[in-house]
Amino acid sequence: MSNSKRLRIAVQKSGRLSDDSIALLKAIGIKLNIRDRLLIAHSTNQPIDLLRVRDDDIPGLVMDGVVDLGFIGENELEEKMLERKAAGKPFEYEVLRRLDYGGCRLSIAVPNEMDYQGIQSLEGKKVATTYPYLLERYFKEQGINAKAVMLQGSVEVAPRAGVADAICDLVSTGATLEANGLVEKDVIFRSKAVLIKRADGELSDEKETLVNRLMPRVDGVLLAKE
Protein backbone atom coordinates (compact mmCIF):
# COMPACT_ATOMS: atom_id res chain seq x y z
CA MET A 1 0.00 0.00 0.00
CA SER A 2 1.08 3.55 -0.63
CA ASN A 3 1.66 4.91 2.88
CA SER A 4 4.01 7.63 1.70
CA LYS A 5 2.82 11.17 2.41
CA ARG A 6 3.73 12.12 -1.12
CA LEU A 7 1.29 11.51 -3.94
CA ARG A 8 2.60 8.69 -6.11
CA ILE A 9 1.94 8.78 -9.83
CA ALA A 10 2.91 5.99 -12.25
CA VAL A 11 3.93 6.92 -15.79
CA GLN A 12 5.35 4.91 -18.67
CA LYS A 13 9.12 5.15 -18.49
CA SER A 14 9.77 5.16 -22.18
CA GLY A 15 7.24 4.73 -24.95
CA ARG A 16 4.31 6.33 -26.71
CA LEU A 17 2.66 7.71 -23.58
CA SER A 18 5.75 9.02 -21.76
CA ASP A 19 6.30 12.43 -23.33
CA ASP A 20 2.65 13.51 -23.36
CA SER A 21 2.10 12.38 -19.77
CA ILE A 22 5.18 14.22 -18.51
CA ALA A 23 4.24 17.28 -20.58
CA LEU A 24 0.78 17.31 -18.96
CA LEU A 25 2.25 17.11 -15.46
CA LYS A 26 4.59 19.98 -16.27
CA ALA A 27 1.78 21.99 -17.86
CA ILE A 28 -0.22 21.82 -14.60
CA GLY A 29 2.72 23.28 -12.73
CA ILE A 30 4.48 20.21 -11.35
CA LYS A 31 8.23 20.70 -11.52
CA LEU A 32 10.04 17.43 -12.15
CA ASN A 33 13.63 16.44 -12.09
CA ILE A 34 13.73 13.35 -14.28
CA ARG A 35 16.97 11.41 -14.54
CA ASP A 36 16.81 8.96 -17.33
CA ARG A 37 17.75 5.75 -15.60
CA LEU A 38 15.96 6.28 -12.32
CA LEU A 39 12.71 4.57 -11.39
CA ILE A 40 11.62 7.40 -9.13
CA ALA A 41 11.50 11.12 -9.91
CA HIS A 42 10.64 13.62 -7.18
CA SER A 43 8.80 16.83 -7.81
CA THR A 44 10.74 19.81 -6.53
CA ASN A 45 7.69 22.00 -5.84
CA GLN A 46 4.90 19.55 -4.90
CA PRO A 47 4.65 16.52 -2.59
CA ILE A 48 4.58 14.25 -5.62
CA ASP A 49 6.75 11.32 -6.70
CA LEU A 50 6.71 9.77 -10.16
CA LEU A 51 7.18 6.06 -10.56
CA ARG A 52 8.53 5.37 -14.05
CA VAL A 53 7.69 1.85 -15.19
CA ARG A 54 6.56 -0.27 -18.16
CA ASP A 55 3.00 0.58 -19.11
CA ASP A 56 1.98 -3.05 -18.53
CA ASP A 57 2.72 -2.62 -14.82
CA ILE A 58 0.65 0.54 -14.31
CA PRO A 59 -2.88 -0.92 -13.97
CA GLY A 60 -1.69 -3.41 -11.33
CA LEU A 61 0.22 -0.75 -9.38
CA VAL A 62 -2.95 1.36 -9.17
CA MET A 63 -5.28 -1.58 -8.46
CA ASP A 64 -2.97 -2.90 -5.74
CA GLY A 65 -2.75 0.58 -4.22
CA VAL A 66 1.02 0.81 -4.67
CA VAL A 67 0.56 4.15 -6.41
CA ASP A 68 -2.26 6.69 -6.12
CA LEU A 69 -2.60 7.75 -9.76
CA GLY A 70 -1.46 6.40 -13.12
CA PHE A 71 -1.38 7.40 -16.78
CA ILE A 72 -2.33 4.48 -18.98
CA GLY A 73 -3.86 3.51 -22.33
CA GLU A 74 -7.43 2.22 -22.00
CA ASN A 75 -6.49 -0.86 -24.03
CA GLU A 76 -3.86 -1.93 -21.48
CA LEU A 77 -6.08 -0.91 -18.57
CA GLU A 78 -9.10 -2.91 -19.74
CA GLU A 79 -6.97 -5.95 -20.61
CA LYS A 80 -5.29 -6.00 -17.21
CA MET A 81 -8.63 -5.43 -15.48
CA LEU A 82 -10.09 -8.51 -17.20
CA GLU A 83 -6.95 -10.54 -16.47
CA ARG A 84 -6.96 -9.61 -12.78
CA LYS A 85 -10.69 -10.21 -12.45
CA ALA A 86 -10.22 -13.72 -13.88
CA ALA A 87 -7.36 -14.34 -11.44
CA GLY A 88 -9.37 -13.13 -8.41
CA LYS A 89 -7.13 -10.10 -7.83
CA PRO A 90 -8.32 -6.56 -7.04
CA PHE A 91 -9.38 -4.89 -10.29
CA GLU A 92 -10.99 -1.63 -9.13
CA TYR A 93 -9.95 1.84 -10.28
CA GLU A 94 -11.49 5.23 -10.95
CA VAL A 95 -11.02 7.17 -14.18
CA LEU A 96 -10.28 10.80 -13.31
CA ARG A 97 -9.93 12.12 -16.85
CA ARG A 98 -9.89 10.80 -20.41
CA LEU A 99 -6.95 12.52 -22.11
CA ASP A 100 -6.28 13.81 -25.61
CA TYR A 101 -3.36 11.60 -26.59
CA GLY A 102 -2.43 7.93 -27.04
CA GLY A 103 -5.27 7.41 -29.47
CA CYS A 104 -5.29 4.05 -31.24
CA ARG A 105 -7.60 1.18 -32.05
CA LEU A 106 -7.35 -2.53 -31.40
CA SER A 107 -8.29 -4.24 -34.64
CA ILE A 108 -8.55 -7.64 -36.20
CA ALA A 109 -6.50 -7.87 -39.39
CA VAL A 110 -6.24 -10.75 -41.83
CA PRO A 111 -3.84 -11.68 -44.66
CA ASN A 112 -4.63 -9.94 -47.97
CA GLU A 113 -5.42 -13.22 -49.66
CA MET A 114 -7.90 -14.43 -47.06
CA ASP A 115 -11.54 -14.56 -48.18
CA TYR A 116 -12.92 -12.63 -45.21
CA GLN A 117 -16.71 -12.37 -45.01
CA GLY A 118 -16.90 -10.94 -41.53
CA ILE A 119 -15.99 -12.14 -38.07
CA GLN A 120 -17.67 -15.54 -38.70
CA SER A 121 -14.81 -16.27 -41.13
CA LEU A 122 -12.63 -16.70 -38.04
CA GLU A 123 -14.72 -19.58 -36.67
CA GLY A 124 -12.35 -22.32 -35.49
CA LYS A 125 -9.30 -20.19 -36.31
CA LYS A 126 -6.35 -18.90 -34.29
CA VAL A 127 -5.74 -15.18 -33.84
CA ALA A 128 -2.43 -13.84 -32.51
CA THR A 129 -2.63 -10.94 -30.06
CA THR A 130 -1.11 -9.24 -27.04
CA TYR A 131 -4.65 -8.65 -25.74
CA PRO A 132 -6.18 -12.13 -25.30
CA TYR A 133 -8.81 -11.06 -22.74
CA LEU A 134 -10.17 -8.23 -24.89
CA LEU A 135 -10.14 -10.46 -27.96
CA GLU A 136 -11.83 -13.42 -26.28
CA ARG A 137 -14.48 -11.11 -24.84
CA TYR A 138 -15.15 -9.88 -28.37
CA PHE A 139 -15.37 -13.44 -29.74
CA LYS A 140 -17.82 -14.29 -26.97
CA GLU A 141 -19.98 -11.22 -27.69
CA GLN A 142 -20.02 -12.14 -31.38
CA GLY A 143 -20.75 -15.81 -30.66
CA ILE A 144 -17.59 -16.92 -32.44
CA ASN A 145 -15.56 -19.94 -31.47
CA ALA A 146 -11.99 -18.84 -32.17
CA LYS A 147 -8.79 -18.96 -30.17
CA ALA A 148 -6.64 -16.04 -29.04
CA VAL A 149 -2.95 -16.94 -29.19
CA MET A 150 -0.89 -14.75 -26.86
CA LEU A 151 2.24 -13.13 -28.33
CA GLN A 152 4.09 -10.32 -26.53
CA GLY A 153 5.74 -9.11 -29.73
CA SER A 154 5.94 -9.64 -33.50
CA VAL A 155 2.19 -10.18 -33.65
CA GLU A 156 2.07 -8.94 -37.24
CA VAL A 157 4.34 -11.71 -38.54
CA ALA A 158 2.34 -14.53 -36.91
CA PRO A 159 0.20 -15.36 -40.00
CA ARG A 160 3.22 -15.54 -42.29
CA ALA A 161 5.05 -17.66 -39.72
CA GLY A 162 2.13 -20.06 -39.65
CA VAL A 163 1.50 -19.38 -35.95
CA ALA A 164 -2.00 -17.95 -36.45
CA ASP A 165 -4.58 -17.30 -39.19
CA ALA A 166 -5.13 -13.63 -38.34
CA ILE A 167 -4.06 -11.03 -35.81
CA CYS A 168 -5.58 -8.56 -33.40
CA ASP A 169 -3.24 -5.64 -32.74
CA LEU A 170 -3.06 -1.91 -32.06
CA VAL A 171 -3.30 0.25 -35.16
CA SER A 172 -2.88 3.96 -35.64
CA THR A 173 -1.97 4.51 -39.30
CA GLY A 174 -2.10 0.98 -40.67
CA ALA A 175 1.37 1.19 -42.22
CA THR A 176 2.70 -1.77 -40.21
CA LEU A 177 -0.23 -3.92 -41.30
CA GLU A 178 0.27 -3.06 -44.94
CA ALA A 179 3.99 -3.78 -44.74
CA ASN A 180 3.11 -7.25 -43.50
CA GLY A 181 0.47 -8.06 -46.10
CA LEU A 182 -2.44 -7.63 -43.69
CA VAL A 183 -5.75 -5.77 -44.00
CA GLU A 184 -7.62 -4.23 -41.09
CA LYS A 185 -11.14 -5.63 -40.78
CA ASP A 186 -12.88 -5.16 -37.42
CA VAL A 187 -12.16 -2.53 -34.79
CA ILE A 188 -12.78 -4.24 -31.46
CA PHE A 189 -11.70 -1.45 -29.07
CA ARG A 190 -10.99 2.29 -29.37
CA SER A 191 -8.48 3.64 -26.90
CA LYS A 192 -7.00 6.83 -25.52
CA ALA A 193 -4.77 7.55 -22.58
CA VAL A 194 -6.55 8.05 -19.24
CA LEU A 195 -5.56 9.29 -15.83
CA ILE A 196 -6.72 6.81 -13.21
CA LYS A 197 -6.88 6.76 -9.43
CA ARG A 198 -6.85 3.89 -6.97
CA ALA A 199 -10.31 2.95 -5.77
CA ASP A 200 -9.38 0.52 -3.01
CA GLY A 201 -9.91 3.06 -0.23
CA GLU A 202 -9.80 6.74 0.45
CA LEU A 203 -6.64 8.72 -0.16
CA SER A 204 -5.43 10.66 2.85
CA ASP A 205 -7.05 14.10 3.22
CA GLU A 206 -3.84 15.80 2.11
CA LYS A 207 -3.57 13.70 -1.04
CA GLU A 208 -7.25 14.09 -1.84
CA THR A 209 -6.93 17.87 -1.50
CA LEU A 210 -3.90 17.87 -3.78
CA VAL A 211 -5.69 15.79 -6.44
CA ASN A 212 -8.74 18.05 -6.24
CA ARG A 213 -6.50 21.05 -6.70
CA LEU A 214 -4.73 19.54 -9.73
CA MET A 215 -7.78 18.34 -11.68
CA PRO A 216 -9.11 21.78 -12.69
CA ARG A 217 -5.64 22.54 -14.04
CA VAL A 218 -5.77 19.36 -16.12
CA ASP A 219 -9.15 20.48 -17.46
CA GLY A 220 -7.65 23.87 -18.27
CA VAL A 221 -4.83 22.30 -20.26
CA LEU A 222 -7.18 19.96 -22.14
CA LEU A 223 -9.55 22.82 -22.92
CA ALA A 224 -6.75 25.08 -24.15
CA LYS A 225 -5.66 22.40 -26.64
CA GLU A 226 -9.15 21.80 -28.08
Backbone angles phi, psi at 186, to 5 degrees: -120, 130
Instruction: Choose among ligand ATP, Zn ion, none what residue 104 binds, the Cβ cut-off being 5 to 8 Å by kind.
Output: ligand ATP
Distance in Å, CB of 212 to Zn ion, minimum = 30
Residues touching ligand ATP, count (CB under 6 A): 15
Amino acid at 149: V
Angle between helix 18-27 and helix 205-225 axes, rounded to 10 deg: 100
Residue 109 lies near ligand ATP (rule: CB under 6 A): no
Query: What residues from 9 to 68 belong to the interface with ligand ATP (CB under 6 A)?
Result: 12, 15-17, 54-56
SS3 135: helix
Q: Nearer to Zn ion by C-beta: 68 or 79?
A: 79
Instruction: Kindly tell me which residue out of 172, 187, 190, 212 binds ligand ATP, with binding defined by CB under 6 A.
Output: 172
Among 75, 107, 129, 180, indicate the residue that binds ligand ATP (CB under 6 A): 75
Cβ neighbors of 109 (< 8 A, separation 6 or more) are 156, 166, 167, 168, 169, 171, 177, 182, 183, 184, 185
Phi-psi region of 65 (alpha: psi -120 to 50; beta: other; left: phi over 0): left
Report the alpha-carbon distance of residue 186 to residue 112 in Å, rounded: 14
Question: Nearer to ligand ATP by C-beta: 55 or 210?
Answer: 55
- Given a contact cutoff of 8 angstroms between Cβ atoms, the answer to whether 28 and 20 are in contact is no
Residue list 110-149, contact with ligand ATP (CB under 6 A): none
Q: What's the min distance (Å) between Cβ of 217 and Zn ion?
A: 28
- On whether the CB atoms of residues 207 and 7 are closer than 8 A, the answer is yes
Nearer to Zn ion among residue 156 and residue 165 (C-beta): 156
Q: How far is the CB of 166 from ligand ATP (least distance, A)?
A: 18
Q: Which residues bind ligand ATP (CB under 6 A)?
A: 12, 15-17, 54-56, 73, 75-76, 102, 104, 170, 172, 191
